[in-house]
Amino acid sequence: MIDFKKEIAEILQMQISEFGIEEIYSMIEIPPNSDMGDFAFPCFKLAKVFRKAPNQIAKDIVDSIGAKELFEKITIAGAYINFIINKEIFARTVIEEVIKKGDMFGSSEIGGGKTVIVEFSSTNIAKPFHIGHIRSTAIGSALNNIYKFIGYNTVAINHLGDYGTQFGKQIVAIKAWGDKSIIESNPIPELLKLYIKFHEEAEKDPKLEDEAREWFKKLEENDKEATELWQWIKDVSLMEFNRVYDMLGIKFDSYAGESFYSDKMPGVLEEMREKELLVKSQGAEIVDLEPHGMPTALITKKDGSTLYITRDIAAAIYRKNHYDFYKNIYVVGSQQNLHFKQWMKIIELMGYEWGKDCIHIPFGMISLEEGTMSTRKGRVVFLEDVLKKAVEKTKEIISNKNPNLEDKEKVAKEVGIGAIVFQELSNNRIKDYVFSWDRTLNFDGESGPYVQYTHARASSLIRKAGLDYLDNINFKLLSEKEAMELIRILNKFPDVVIDSARKYEPSVVTRYVIDLAQAFNKFYHDHPILVDDVELQRARLALVHTVKQTIKNGLKLIGVAAPERM
């Protein structure tokens, strides 16, 4: 595909030898209004070199360049040189590229096979997979897809919360009030009831907290009963979690959670002692981070047991040794900002230069309309319930609007679940928001169903045409303003994907597919596709095809299906 920006940089560099190609390339802009041109080059920085007013420099350069086949016009607007691309060449370049690359349009090889780890979802064993987990799960899965699409070798890790004092609490609760057969019939809700009961009883009898700590200590020491109970809790929990992951179409390369690093922590602790980082404090071991503007980090408790921070340090070292990562990305809520700053600083103090490649991707939190979610108090909304309700609502809509639709069940799942994921990824990840059933299941406006319907509409047009439209395309017939706007948007997709990866922001892709769908619907409204003029119909169908393909590719990156019929 012709890189018009690069072509402009090369043309300009012949007139501005004092600047390198890369610097000129970085200065080229896309005007806010396409009427001004497709690309613009500001001449302000050239004033010191040429000792002239920027607008005069712009005029001199344009006079020197002369006519070029790639551009219909090269004009001046004050200190800017505006480049208007030859419409036929532009349409041919973009459309042929989309047709040629198909499902890989927008992909690149900039990753060069380097390994990127994406840790996301990281559900807690024996606790609900609730609506709050949609954030890490959807953002992380999308980032994993995006990095893979641009040539990185990705490793999707679900760092399960399967260790810690809460398992001591769970074991105490099961032994005191639990029934395995009842738990196995409905694992997470039953385990949640026991977890809530433990905290209720512990308020009356604080000795239960000591008993829980004792059971966790036994677990760390590989006590047979503690280990067997813990493994059983983990197994029944994962059966529940995997049902939700299957609904979302998400797969992980590793489920190595906190427990995986239990036998690796003694070596890490010894290394920290040898490097004189650990300091004794009231029987516990700490790292003093106050000189680095952070509170002291507790590494081991006075009973010798470890904490989250200890396990995260051990996990990072293991991942570097095992995967030799280029980036080690953690998709974890913003309330953990201090925790990540602390352990990443400790990695740096241990002398590991690769610590800078460990990257925390924070996101805002979800709260309920009635207040903050709390597992201890049982105030949660199960994610599976949200997904099922979305599917049910979608089935109702389909029954009303298109009762004869084939594969109604399949489409309802694709659209209902897609609506949840799309909404999650349509706003900047750092924003907090309040979960609302009405807003989540509102399928109007800038939503996933709107984009999916646009894809289905494009598919329908192609089916109805019933002709071969990918050969002998007359690109001159796609010169209307709305067609060119569509082609400009299509041309941006590869850069959008890279920008999304660079910013760790899937919403860049989500907003793009909304813009593309809106531009297509405007084009479709103003310019009929199935016209009598076969040559014109063929050209417009080729454009419809490229929009359909690009919407599909964009939706796939964020984990949303693209139905052929709706």
SS3 sequence of 100-129: HHHHHCCCCCCCCCCEEEEECCCCECCCCC
Band of pLDDT at residue 377, cut at 50, 70 and 90: low
Nearest to 508 by CA among 453, 407, 564, 426: 426
Active-site residue, 455 included: no
Instruction: Give the ranges where 331-425 is alpha helix by DSSP (H).
Output: 337-349, 383-401, 408-424
Spatial strand order in the sheet of 297-300: 279-281, 284-287, 297-300
For 250-280, how does the pLDDT look when each residue is reduced to its tens digit (9 = 90+)? 999 999 999 999 889 999 999 999 999 999 9
Give residue 132's pLDDT: 87
Residue 27 has pLDDT above 60, yes or no: yes
For 111-170, how does the pLDDT look when each residue is reduced to its tens digit (9 = 90+)? 999 999 999 999 999 988 988 899 999 999 999 999 999 999 999 999 999 988 889 999
Catalytic residue chosen out of the listed positions 5, 133, 320, 545: 133
Mean pLDDT score, 312-337: 97
Band of pLDDT at residue 471, cut at 50, 70 and 90: confident
Phi first, then psi: what are they for 39, rounded to 5°? -140, 155
Catalytic residue chosen out of the listed positions 5, 127, 169, 327: 127
pTM of the entire structure?
A: 0.92
Active-site residue, 133 included: yes
Mean pLDDT of all residues belonging to the chain: 93
Give residue 476's pLDDT: 96
Nearest to 81 by CA among 102, 55, 103, 106: 55
Give residue 141's pLDDT: 98
Residue 373 has pLDDT above 60, yes or no: no
Mean pLDDT score, 439-465: 89
Give residue 271's pLDDT: 97
Residue type present at position 42: P
Band of pLDDT at residue 370, cut at 50, 70 and 90: low
- Domains in the chain with CATH codes: 4-85 (3.30.1360.70), 393-424+439-557 (1.10.730.10)
Residue 521 has pLDDT above 90, yes or no: yes
Lowest mean pLDDT among 370-384, 422-436, 530-544: 370-384
Catalytic residue chosen out of the listed positions 87, 130, 218, 393: 130
Mean pLDDT score, 291-301: 96
Active-site residue, 130 included: yes
C-alpha span between 38 and 205 (Å, rounded): 72
Contact 250, 559 (CB under 8 A): yes
Phi first, then psi: what are they for 431, rounded to 5°? -75, 135
C-alpha span between 59 and 76 (Å, rounded): 7
Supply the angle between the helices 408-424 and 133-149 in degrees, to the nearest 10: 100
For 205-222, how does the pLDDT look when each residue is reduced to its tens digit (9 = 90+)? 999 999 999 998 898 888
Percent of residues, the chain, with pLDDT higher than 90:
83
Residue 306 has pLDDT above 90, yes or no: no
Nearest to 232 by CA among 273, 184, 275, 274: 184
